[in-house]
Structure 1
Amino acid sequence: MFVKDQTRFAGPVVLCLMAGALPQTASATEGYFALGYGPAQRGVGGAGVAYSQDAMSGAINPASVATVGREMSLGLQAFSPSRGFTGDSTGFVPSGTIDSGKSFFPVPNAAYNLPLSNGAVVNFAAYGNGGMNTSYDAVPNANCGGGTGVFCGGESGVDLTQLFVSVTYAQKLGRLSYGIAPTLAVQAFEAKGLAAFSGISVDPTALTDNGYDYSTGLGLRVGLQYELSDQLTLGLSAQTKFNMSEFDKYAGLFEGGGDFDIPPSVTIGLAYQPTSDLALLLDYQKIFYSDAPAVANPMSSGALGADGGAGFGWEDVEVIRLGAEWKASPDMTWRVGYAHAANPVGADDVTFGILAPGVVEDHFTVGGSRQINARDRIDFSLSYVPENTVSGPEMTPLGPTGGTVDLNMSQISASIGWTRTF
Structure 2
Amino acid sequence: MTTKNLSKFSIPFFLVALLLFVSQIQAQSNLAYGPRAKSMAGAGTAIVENSIWGNSNPGGQVFLGQKLGIGIEIAMPKASYFVAGEPTEFEQTQSSIWPLGIKTGGVDSENKVLVIPQIGFNMSLDDNNSIGISIYGNGNKGKEYAAKTYYSPVIADFGSSEGFINPMGTVSYPTFMKLNQYFAALSYSRKFGDKLGIGISLVGAWQSFSAGGLEAFGSLHYSEFPNELTNNETANSFGVGGKLGVQWNVSKKFQAGVAFRTKLYMTTMDEYKGLISESGKLDIPSEWSIGLVYHPFDRFLMALDMNRICHSGVPAWGLAMKQKGAVSLGGENGGGFGRTDQMTYKFGIQYSIPKWQFRVGYQYSDLTLVASEFLLNMMMPDVITDHVSFGFSRDIGEQNISFAIVKGFKKTATGFNVMDNAQFMDLTAQNLLFEVAVEF
Q: What is the distance in 1 between the residues matched to 2:43 and 2:21?
A: 27
Give the aligned residue type for 2:43.
Answer: A
Helix, strand or coil: the match of 2:317?
helix
Give the aligned residue type for 1:19.
Answer: L
Q: 1:100 and 2:109 equivalent?
A: yes
- Aligned position for 1:220: 242
Cα 1:7–1:57 change in 2 (3 A) is closer
Cα 1:308–1:264 change in 2 (3 A) is same
Contact 1:49 1:235 survives alignment (8 Å): yes
Q: What is the distance in 2 between the residues matched to 1:402 and 1:318?
A: 31
- Aligned position for 1:251: 273
Q: What is the distance in 2 between the residues matched to 1:177 and 1:244?
A: 30
Q: Matched residues, percent identical?
A: 27
Equivalent positions of 1:135-174 (< 5 A) are 135-138=144-147, 143=153, 145=156, 152-173=171-192, 174=194
Q: Pick from 37, 41, 48: which aligns with 1:41? A: 37
Contact 1:350 1:390 survives alignment (8 Å): no
Contact 1:130 1:162 survives alignment (8 Å): no
Cα 1:38–1:364 change in 2 (3 A) is same
Give the aligned residue type for 2:409.
Answer: P
- Aligned position for 1:177: 197
- Aligned position for 1:285: 307
Q: Mean Cα displacement is larger for which, 8-17 or 216-225?
A: 8-17
Q: Pick from 398, 401, 407: which aligns with 1:375? A: 398
Helix, strand or coil: the match of 2:79?
strand
Equivalent positions of 1:66-81 (< 5 A) are 66-81=62-77
Helix, strand or coil: the match of 2:205?
strand
Contact 1:90 1:394 survives alignment (8 Å): no
Contact 1:73 1:110 survives alignment (8 Å): yes
- Aligned position for 1:64: 60
Contact 1:180 1:221 survives alignment (8 Å): yes
Q: What is the distance in 2 between the residues matched to 1:296 and 1:6?
A: 50
Runs of 4+ in 1 over 4 A off after TM superposition: 3-7, 11-15, 139-142
Q: Mean Cα displacement is larger for which, 310-319 or 138-147?
A: 138-147
TM-score normalised by length of structure 1:
0.91
Equivalent positions of 1:379-418 (< 5 A) are 379-396=402-419, 400-418=420-438
Could you list the per-position Cα deviations for residues 60-91 of structure 1 after superposition, in whole angstroms to 9, with x for gaps in the alignment? 11112221121211111111111111111242
Q: Pick from 224, 229, 233: which aligns with 1:211? A: 233
Deviation at 1:18, TM superposition (A): 4.0
CA RMSD of aligned residues (A): 2.2
- Aligned position for 2:439: 419
Q: Pick from 283, 298, 315: which aligns with 1:261? A: 283
Q: Pick from 269, 294, 307: which aligns with 2:332? A: 307
Could you list the per-position Cα deviations for residues 304-326 of structure 1 after superposition, in whole angstroms to 9, with x for gaps in the alignment? 11223111110000011101111
Q: 1:201 and 2:219 equivalent?
A: no
Q: What is the distance in 2 between the residues matched to 1:130 and 1:295?
A: 17
Q: Mean Cα displacement is larger for which, 212-221 or 164-173?
A: 164-173
Cα 1:402–1:349 change in 2 (3 A) is same
- Aligned position for 1:121: 130
Contact 1:130 1:161 survives alignment (8 Å): no
Helix, strand or coil: the match of 1:165?
strand
Q: What is the distance in 2 between the residues matched to 1:196 and 1:67?
A: 55
Contact 2:148 2:171 survives alignment (8 Å): no
Contact 1:18 1:110 survives alignment (8 Å): no
Contact 2:119 2:134 survives alignment (8 Å): yes
Give the aligned residue type for 2:66.
Answer: R
Between the two proteins, the alignment pairs up a number of residues equal to 407
Helix, strand or coil: the match of 1:63?
helix
Contact 2:52 2:64 survives alignment (8 Å): no
Contact 1:254 1:294 survives alignment (8 Å): yes
Helix, strand or coil: the match of 1:267?
strand
Q: Mean Cα displacement is larger for which, 48-57 or 197-206?
A: 48-57
Give the aligned residue type for 2:147.
Answer: A
Contact 2:365 2:386 survives alignment (8 Å): yes
Q: 1:298 and 2:309 equivalent?
A: no
Helix, strand or coil: the match of 1:133?
coil
Structure 1 segments unaligned to the other structure (5+ residues) = none
- Aligned position for 2:96: none
Deviation at 1:55, TM superposition (A): 5.5
Q: 1:332 and 2:351 equivalent?
A: no
- Aligned position for 2:163: none
Give the aligned residue type for 1:122.
Answer: I
Helix, strand or coil: the match of 2:137?
strand
